[in-house]
Homo-oligomer: A and B are copies of this chain.
Amino acid sequence: MGASKTEHFSDKQNQIAAMAKAIGHPARVAIIEYLLSVDTCICGDIVNVLPLAQPTVSQHLKELKNAGIIKGSIEGTAICYCLNPDALSVLEAFFAHITININTKKTNCC
């Protein structure tokens, strides 16, 4: 079919999955790392940093924005993009929870 059966899973599971999916592309990881590296969030030069055409970068930015990973606002002729701390802290908490609890398991047969 191709469409995920999201209705069978919890809101939390769908939220984590949607955000992880958005990060699941090297170009989007690179965008996140670039947004983290620049001190301001006026980011009109993302296109020049990535090895992809402008429409492709625009599409990746759109997906990150749809997933809530980044926020964007119009800044004259340029667009101001920056990371969304709220979304990223949700993911941080998810993985922190896993790594904390993974070591409390009694048996590790694998």
Query: Which A residues are closer than 8 A to B by beta carbons?
Result: 4-6, 8-10, 13-14, 16-18, 20-30, 32-33, 36, 39-42, 51-52, 71-73, 75, 80-85, 88-89, 91-92, 95-96, 98-99, 101-103, 105-110
In-complex Cβ contact of A13 among B9, B22, B33 (8 A): B33
By a CB distance below 8 angstroms, the chain B residues around A80 are 109-110
With contacts A72-B110, A82-B109 taken as known, whether A9 is within 8 angstroms of B21 at the C-beta atoms is: no
A21 to B22, CA, bound (A): 8
**B residues less than 8 Å from A27 (CB atoms):** 4-5, 9
Which residues of chain B are within 8 angstroms of A109 by Cβ–Cβ distance?
Answer: 40-42, 73, 75, 80, 82
